[in-house]
Homo-oligomer: A and B are copies of this chain.
């Protein structure tokens, strides 16, 4: 689902304008990016935890050419849903 459809749904369910819903979302995601930049994790009650993990640099070897390639270190964002969110996902699966 695209951002636009998501915002429309939030606006409808919360009884607010699309503009307001987009503003709320932007405020929340901007602060979240800022926190992830400094800290390494953030807990969202009833939703899940975002965690930044650093993957170290490593050497990859192409199995065919045997060429060695250095993969640079990178930061990945891990999202771990809460049990309640996981339960919701499972319910959705049952309805399919």
Chain multiplicity (copies):
2
- Complex Cα distance, B79 from A33, in Å, reads 13
> Pick the contact of A28 from B24, B35, B38, B88 — CB < 8 Å?
B24
- In chain A, residues 1-50, which have Cβ atoms closer than 8 Å to a Cβ of chain B? 1-3, 6, 9-10, 13-14, 21, 23-39, 41-48, 50
A63 an interface residue at 8 Å Cβ cutoff?
no
Count of interface residues, chain A, beta-carbon cutoff 8 Å: 51
Q: Which residues of A contact B (CB under 8 A)?
A: 1-3, 6, 9-10, 13-14, 21, 23-39, 41-48, 50, 52, 54, 75, 77-81, 85-86, 88-93
Further contacts, 19 of them, CB under 8 A, given A1-B39, A2-B43, A75-B93: A1-B41, A1-B43, A6-B31, A9-B35, A10-B28, A13-B27, A13-B31, A21-B28, A24-B28, A25-B44, A29-B46, A30-B46, A33-B88, A37-B92, A38-B92, A50-B79, A52-B89, A77-B80, A77-B89
